């Protein structure tokens, strides 16, 4: 991940909920116009695994 992307994510984390929603909406509007290749099954599985691990970590922190 580049420094610029890390900085954007850090700034995103400091937004209010309504600002995050607005930002996310704008990003999604822009993404639909990109000509991106489809993710492979392996990529999908790896991303799902990362998400589940992150969710598990957050659940553990709230217990």
* DSSP code per residue over 1-63: --HHHHHHHHHHHTS-HHHHHHHHHHHHHHHTTS-PPPPPHHHHHHHHHHHHHHHHHHHHHT-
CA–CA distances in Å: residue 27 to residues 2, 41, 56, 63: 18, 24, 26, 33
Q: What is the pLDDT of residues 11-57, one digit of tens each?
A: 999 999 999 999 999 999 998 888 888 889 999 999 999 999 999 99
Question: Structurally, how many domains does the chain consist of?
Answer: 1
14 or 62, higher pLDDT: 14
CA distance 45 to 5: 23
Residue-number span of the structural domain to which 15 is assigned: 3-61
Q: What pLDDT does 9 receive? A: 96
């Amino acid at each position: 991940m580049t420094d610029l992307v890390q900085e954007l994510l850090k700034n995103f984390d400091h937004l209010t909920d309504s600002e995050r929603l607005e930002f996310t909406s704008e990003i999604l509007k822009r993404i639909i116009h990109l000509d991106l290749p489809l993710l492979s099954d392996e990529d999908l599985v790896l991303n799902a695994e990362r998400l589940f691990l992150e969710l598990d970590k957050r659940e553990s922190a709230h217990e």
